[in-house]
Structure 1
Amino acid sequence: MGTIVFRLIKKYRERVIHNLSIAFGSEKDMGEINTLAQEVFFHFTLTPLETVYLIANGLPFERFFLKIKIKGKEYLEEALAKKKGVIALGAHLGAFTLLGTRLAVEGYPVNIMINQESFPKLWKRLNAYQGIVGQKTFPPKPIITSIKKSLNCLHRNEILYLVADEQQRRGGIPVPFFGQKAFTPSGPALFSLKTGAPILPMFILRKNRIQWTLVIGPPIEIERTSDEKKDIEALTAKFTKAIEDFIRQYPHQWTWLNRRWKLPSSKGFLDMAT
C-alpha cells in the first residue's frame, strides 16, 4: 500500500523527498533518500490502517494497548512525584495517536490537545474508548480556552500530551531543526516555565510489524534566567533538538509531509499567550 501511494501521489512524494533532502542532503545520496521515502510511505499508510482495523473489528483495546511495552517509566514517576504535572512532548512519529491512550490504560491521568477535524467518525469511535480508560481530549481552538484547560490539568498534577513538531502556521519561534531554522510551537516551553511541569519526550515506536514500545526520555531542562522570552526560546530549541534526535533514530516513522521549514504567516502562539 505504501509503495502504491508513493508512486501514485506525486505531490506528497515530491514533498517527502524535498524534506528528506533538506534534512539528510549532506548525509545521504538521492538513492538512499528515495529508498527512505518509500519506507516513510509504508509506515505512513500502515499505522492508520492498524488503528482503523482495531476500531472496525471491535477488538479488545485494553489487551492491545497493554502489549505496548513502556521504556523509561521511571522518568514519568519521578516527574509526577513533583506534583506540578507533566508535559508529554510528542511528534508525528510512530503511533503518536495511540500514546495518550496507552498511558491512560496504565492508569495515568492524560489530557491531549488535538485537532480532530479530519476523519471525525474515526475519532468519535476512538474517543469513546479513550473516555472509558480516562483519557481526556480537547481541541486547540478557541486558543484561550485550550490554554486554560492545559494549565488546569497541570495544576491537577496530570499529564498534558502536546505534539510539537509541525510548522507553526501562525508564527512560532525560529529554532534549529536538522540544521535549518524552523518556526516551532512554543506551547510546551511556555506551559513548563509557567507551571514548573517537567517536559518529557514520549514516542510510541515500531520495533517490527507487530511490536511497539512507548519510549519515555529524561526531562528536558534549561537554566532559567530573568528573561522569560529568551528562556522560552531556549527551551523550545532544546525540546526541538530532542525531537530531532528521535527522528534521526527512526526517520522512516516520521511523516515528512509537513512544510516544516516554510515561513509563518503572522504572529505566533507565544505572542498571543504572553
Structure 2
Amino acid sequence: MVGKVLKKARRDFMFRYGRRLRQMEHWLVARLAMAMISLLRLLPPDKALNFADRVARRIGPLVGRHRVAVNNLRLAYPEKSDAEIEAIALDMWGNMARLAAEYIFLDALFDYDPKATKPGRVDVRGVEHFVEIAGEKKPHILFTGHLGNFELLPVAAATFGMNITALFRPPNNPYLADYIHSTRRSTMGGLLPSSTGASFALAAILENGGNIGVLVDQKFSSGLETTFFGRPCQSNPVLGMLARHYDCDVYPARCVRLPGNRFRLDIEDKLTLPRTESGSVDVHATTQLLADVVERWVREDPGQWMWFHKRWEMSGRRRKRRGQAEERPADPVPGPN
C-alpha cells in the first residue's frame, strides 16, 4: 500500500516537474525569439531577411530535422546528387528563416497596387479570380501549401475585399503563439485556430456563404491514403468533404518566392473536382487531386517547401482507405510532425 502511494506521488511530482520544465523552456525560447525580432527590427527589411537566411543556412544542418529533410529529398529525387540534395535543404532552411523574419515586416512587404506602373515587391497573377470570388455571394474554398511566404495569401485576399477565414495552427509555444496570432490578426482578416471541432466551424462559415482558406500538405494520421511524390501518405479529407456537402468552387493558390525579396502570388483557375457515378464530389479522388497540385508546385520550387516535415510517416492502425473517412467529419488540421 505504501509502495503504491509513493509510486503515485513520484508520478505526480515528475508530471508537475516536467510541465514546469516545458513552461520554462517555452519562456526561454520565446525570450530568445523576441530578442532576435528586436534585433531584426533595427535593420531595413531586405538586410534583416538576408541576415536571417544566412544564419539559418549555417544552423539548419546542425538540427535533427535536417536529416529528415535530406532523407525525404533523396526519396523524392533519387536522380539528384548529394550536393544537389544538400543545396535544396539549405534553400529550405533559408526559406523558413525568411518566413519567420517576414512576420515582422508583413505590412511593409505586401505592396501590391493594381494601378501601379512599376513592379513592386509583390506580383499577383489571377487577379480576376480574387475579384470574382469577392463579388460572388456564395461559399468558396481556397487551398495552398507551405510554400514561399504562404502567409501573404490571406493578406492579398483581404486587400481585394475577399471575406475569407484562414485556418491556422498556433505554435506549441504559448508565448510565441500570442505574438504570431496578433500579427496575423492585424493583416489577414478572419482567423480560425485549429482545434477539435474546427471542421464544424469551417462548415458553419460555408453554410453562411463565407470563404475559407486551408493548408493541405501536412500529414493527417486519421486521413485517407494518398500518394505524394510517388510514396504513400495520409491526407486530410475535410476539404473534399466540405466541397461535396456545399458543392462550392475550389481554387488553388500559392506564393512563390522570387529573387530580391520579391514574391509572386498565384491564384489558379478553379478545379474541376472528380465526381462519383451519382454526381457528388468524390472525396478520395479530390484529396488525391489536391496532393497532386501541391506536388506540382513543390517540384517547380523544391527549396521553398518544408522537407523536414514527416509527411510520409504512416499510422498503420488508423489508416483509412477509400470511403472510410467519409463516415464522419475529420479534424482539418494535422498535428506537428
Aligned mate of 1:23, from 45, 63, 76: 76
Question: Which residue number corresponds to residue 207 of structure 1?
Answer: 258
Question: Which residue number corresponds to residue 193 of structure 1?
Answer: 244
Question: Which residue number corresponds to residue 256 of structure 1?
Answer: 307
Task: Mark the CA change 1:13 to 1:133 in structure 2 (over 3 Å): closer, same or farther.
Answer: closer
- Secondary structure of the 1:66 match is coil
Pairs within 5 Å for 1:95-110: 95-110=149-164
Question: Which residue number corresponds to residue 166 of structure 1?
Answer: 218
Question: Are 1:136 and 2:190 counterparts?
Answer: yes
Question: What residue identity is the alignment partner of 1:8?
Answer: L
State the number of aligned residues. Answer: 262
Task: Mark the CA change 1:12 to 1:229 in structure 2 (over 3 Å): closer, same or farther.
Answer: farther
Please say which structure displays the higher CA radius of gyration: 2
**Separation (CA, whole Å) in 2 of partners of 1:219 and 1:24:** 29
**Separation (CA, whole Å) in 1 of partners of 2:327 and 2:262:** 41
TM-score calculated relative to the size of structure 1 = 0.85
Does the 8 Å CA contact 2:237/2:287 hold for their aligned counterparts? Answer: yes
Question: Which residue number corresponds to residue 110 of structure 2?
Answer: 65
Query: Higher relative contact order by CA 8 Å / sep ≥ 6: 1 or 2?
Result: 1
- Secondary structure of the 2:295 match is helix
Task: Mark the CA change 1:270 to 1:117 in structure 2 (over 3 Å): closer, same or farther.
Answer: farther
Aligned mate of 2:100, from 28, 40, 48: 48
**Separation (CA, whole Å) in 2 of partners of 1:120 and 1:5:** 24
Does the 8 Å CA contact 1:66/1:105 hold for their aligned counterparts? Answer: no
- Secondary structure of the 1:248 match is helix
Question: What residue identity is the alignment partner of 2:290?
Answer: F
**Separation (CA, whole Å) in 1 of partners of 2:74 and 2:81:** 9
Note the alpha carbon deviations across 1:46-68, whole angstroms, 9 max, x for none: 221221x327xxxxx2x532333
Task: Mark the CA change 1:64 to 1:30 in structure 2 (over 3 Å): closer, same or farther.
Answer: closer
**Separation (CA, whole Å) in 2 of partners of 1:140 and 1:229:** 27
Offset at residue 7 of structure 1 (A): 2.9
Note the alpha carbon deviations across 1:24-59, whole angstroms, 9 max, x for none: 11x3122211111111111111221221x327xxxx
Offset at residue 99 of structure 1 (A): 2.0
Task: Mark the CA change 1:117 to 1:102 in structure 2 (over 3 Å): closer, same or farther.
Answer: same
CA RMSD of the aligned region, Å?
2.5
- Secondary structure of the 1:260 match is coil
Does the 8 Å CA contact 2:225/2:234 hold for their aligned counterparts? Answer: yes
- Secondary structure of the 2:161 match is coil
Q: Does 148-157 or 183-192 show the bigger shift?
A: 148-157
Gaps of 5+ in 2: 1-54, 113-121, 331-337
Aligned mate of 1:234, from 280, 285, 292: 285
Offset at residue 76 of structure 1 (A): 3.7
Question: Which residue number corresponds to residue 225 of structure 1?
Answer: 276
Task: Mark the CA change 1:80 to 1:91 in structure 2 (over 3 Å): closer, same or farther.
Answer: same
Gaps of 5+ in 1: 56-60
Does the 8 Å CA contact 1:66/1:102 hold for their aligned counterparts? Answer: no
Does the 8 Å CA contact 1:220/1:239 hold for their aligned counterparts? Answer: no
Note the alpha carbon deviations across 1:103-134, whole angstroms, 9 max, x for none: 11332111012111335444434544554556
Does the 8 Å CA contact 2:274/2:286 hold for their aligned counterparts? Answer: no
Question: What residue identity is the alignment partner of 2:329?
Answer: A
Aligned mate of 2:89, from 37, 51, 54: 37
